């Protein structure tokens, strides 16, 4: 009996490489102003919600969804002026990134990113057993052409991640850098444009060149501009030959019918979304100007968030983060990320949330 109980209580060993890893978390605390996860501050328009509910009546609940998500892919292709075969859709752009790692990465293959950047590149690459290389950017958080060249020459990555605008610095990459990466890297070049709608430049334009790039993938999400972080929908634009390969690694029917409908209905509200982008850009400039006025270092952002460094005030990032929290304002504390000592990242919220944040920051610095 005792022996049997022992057998039941035995924990199977987790993969040894996973045992050393920790998960990716942003602490969620109950606060009045939550500016820590770069979501849109407003829900989608009212009309979206009623149109979505109306479309739901057409869903065949007892049937599996359209496995190819054909209609959604056609709508996205029209939006970006590419072919539907150049669009792959998944449960958030994180799942797109995972699909890329499963297709192009894996054991014995290298995934390279330039830190500080979105930590999920390394996290997903590790869980898919890639060799992970993280190359530091220069002191202004730029990837200079010599940093890029050396990284490619030394590491010959099968997957190279660029994030434009970069999370958490908010800074965009240049088209020249993306071109250089495509022409020099031996493998796939991923440009993560989760915040692409807020930026002046999109790498998607490169697909209209002749000949179009064969090794470029540009990822996008509905989680930010489209105000749909709750839905988990993302996609990528890529050369059409990749679609067949992605279908081998993704689970059958991975994208449910309801989500496909949500994405298609959201795309009908493109103009409203563009309007929100300009409102957020306006608020972002207000935050940048006031943070600079308070004497802190702030980076010019092209995203829906701003990164600042607290040290000119004589206070550490941890201290300012705590003081903001005491005033019920939650921002992202990046102080422990490589190269980001005393840096905080604040998501652009509603005008009143931003005003509350700026007032709390001013008080926190006193
Ligand atoms: N890329 C970047 C740079 C991000 O900041 C995020 C979200 N924090 C994602 C991808 C993932 O977004 P999604 O919600 O589409 O999975």
193 and 149 within one domain: yes
Determine the Cα–Cα distance for residues 336 and 333; give it in Å rounded to an integer. 8
> Would 178 be classed as within a structural domain?
yes
Is the model's pLDDT at 338 over the cut of 90? no
Instruction: Return the CATH number at 127.
Output: 3.40.640.10
114 and 67 within one domain: yes
325 and 214 within one domain: no
**Whole-number pLDDT of residue 3:** 54
50 and 40 within one domain: no
Strand partners, 134: 113
For the Cβ of 121 lying below 6 angstroms from any atom of ligand 1, the answer is no
Is the model's pLDDT at 125 over the cut of 80? yes
Determine the Cα–Cα distance for residues 138 and 155; give it in Å rounded to an integer. 18
286 and 156 within one domain: no
Residue with tokens 């493109």: 270
Report the SS3 class of residue 262: helix
Cβ proximity of 107 and 87 under 8 Å: no
Domain C-terminal end among 268, 285, 320: 268
pLDDT in tens, 251-278: 999 999 999 999 999 999 999 999 999 9
CA of 195 to the centre of ligand 1 (A): 8
Q: Which of 26, 123, 167, 345 to mutate to test the pocket of ligand 1 (most atoms within 8 A of CB)?
A: 167
Is the model's pLDDT at 2 over the cut of 70? no
pLDDT in tens, 15-61: 988 888 877 776 678 999 999 999 999 999 999 999 999 999 999 99
Residue 249: name the closest of 53, 87, 104 by CA.
Answer: 104
CA atoms within 13 A on the CB side of 34: 12
Domain of 323 in residue numbering reads as 26-44+271-364
> Would 119 be classed as within a structural domain?
yes
299 and 287 within one domain: yes
Measured from the Cα of 118, ligand 1's closest atom is 3
DSSP 8-state secondary structure symbol assigned to residue 46: H
216 and 278 within one domain: no
pLDDT in tens, 133-151: 999 999 999 999 999 999 9
CA distances from 200 to 31, 41, 114 (A): 33, 21, 21
> Would 8 be classed as within a structural domain?
no
Residue with tokens 């807020």: 198
Task: Output the six-digit token pair for 182.
Answer: 């495509």
CA of 236 to the centre of ligand 1 (A): 12
Is the model's pLDDT at 7 over the cut of 90? no
Domain count, the chain: 2
pLDDT in tens, 176-194: 999 999 999 999 999 999 9
Determine the Cα–Cα distance for residues 260 and 187; give it in Å rounded to an integer. 31
Cβ proximity of 329 and 360 under 8 Å: yes
Task: Name the residue at shortest CA distance from atom 1 of ligand 1.
Answer: 194
Domain C-terminal end among 268, 291, 317: 268
Confidence of residue 292 (pLDDT cuts 50, 70, 90): very high
For the Cβ of 38 lying below 6 angstroms from any atom of ligand 1, the answer is yes
Strand partners, 136: 115
181 and 57 within one domain: yes
Q: pLDDT higher for 2 or 131? A: 131
For the Cβ of 225 lying below 6 angstroms from any atom of ligand 1, the answer is no
158 and 82 within one domain: yes
Average pLDDT in the 87-106 region?
98
Domain C-terminal end among 231, 250, 268: 268
Task: Name the residue at shortest CA distance from atom 4 of ligand 1.
Answer: 194
Instruction: Return the CATH number at 330.
Output: 3.90.1150.10
Measured from the Cα of 224, ligand 1's closest atom is 14
> Would 14 be classed as within a structural domain?
no
Cβ proximity of 40 and 229 under 8 Å: yes
> Would 315 be classed as within a structural domain?
yes
242 and 214 within one domain: yes
Residue with tokens 């540009």: 218
> Would 317 be classed as within a structural domain?
yes
CA of 170 to the centre of ligand 1 (A): 13
348 and 244 within one domain: no
> Would 325 be classed as within a structural domain?
yes
Residue 334: name the closest of 117, 70, 51 by CA.
Answer: 117
Q: How far is CA 203 from the centre of its chain?
A: 15
For the Cβ of 93 lying below 6 angstroms from any atom of ligand 1, the answer is yes
Any idea of the CA torsion for 125, 103, 221, 78, to the nearest 10 degrees? 160
CA of 246 to the centre of ligand 1 (A): 19
Determine the Cα–Cα distance for residues 114 and 164; give it in Å rounded to an integer. 12
Q: In what order do the strands lie in the sheet with 329-333?
A: 33-35, 329-333, 343-347, 305-309, 297-298
> Would 1 be classed as within a structural domain?
no
Element at 100 (helix H, strand E): helix 93-104
233 and 130 within one domain: yes
CA of 194 to the centre of ligand 1 (A): 6
């Amino acid at each position: 009996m005792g022996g049997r109980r022992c057998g039941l209580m035995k924990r199977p060993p987790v993969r040894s490489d996973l045992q050393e890893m920790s998960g990716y978390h942003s602490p969620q605390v109950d606060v009045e102003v939550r500016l820590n996860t770069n979501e849109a501050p407003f829900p989608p328009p009212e009309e979206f919600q009623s149109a979505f509910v109306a479309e739901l009546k057409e869903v065949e609940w007892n049937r599996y969804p359209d496995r190819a998500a054909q209609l959604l892919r056609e709508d996205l292709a029209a939006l970006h002026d590419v072919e539907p075969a150049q669009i792959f859709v998944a449960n958030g752009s994180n799942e797109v990134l995972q699909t890329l790692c499963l297709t192009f990465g894996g054991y014995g293959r290298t995934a390279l990113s330039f830190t500080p950047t979105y930590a999920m590149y390394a996290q997903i690459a590790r869980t898919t057993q890639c060799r992970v290389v993280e190359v530091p950017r220069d002191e202004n958080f730029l990837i200079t052409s010599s940093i890029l060249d050396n990284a490619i020459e030394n590491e010959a990555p099968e997957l190279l991640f660029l994030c434009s605008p970069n999370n958490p610095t908010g800074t965009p990459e240049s088209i020249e850098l993306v071109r250089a990466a495509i022409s020099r890297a031996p493998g796939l070049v991923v440009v993560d444009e989760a915040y692409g709608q807020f930026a002046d430049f999109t790498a998607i334009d490169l697909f209209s060149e002749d000949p179009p790039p064969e090794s470029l993938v540009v990822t996008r999400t509905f989680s930010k501009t489209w105000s749909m972080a709750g839905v988990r929908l993302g996609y990528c634009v890529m050369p059409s030959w990749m679609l067949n390969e992605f279908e081998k690694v993704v689970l059958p029917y991975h994208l449910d019918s309801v989500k496909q409908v949500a994405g298609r209905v959201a795309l009908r509200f493109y103009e409203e979304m563009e309007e929100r982008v300009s409102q957020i850009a306006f608020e972002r400039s207000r935050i940048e100007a006031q943070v600079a006025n308070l004497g802190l270092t702030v980076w010019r952002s092209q995203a829906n968030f701003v990164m600042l460094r607290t040290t000119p005030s004589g206070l550490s990032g941890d201290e300012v983060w705590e003081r903001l929290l005491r005033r019920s304002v939650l921002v992202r504390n990046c102080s422990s990320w490589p190269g980001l000592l005393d840096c905080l990242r604040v998501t652009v919220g509603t005008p009143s949330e931003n005003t509350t944040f700026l007032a709390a920051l001013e008080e926190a610095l006193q």
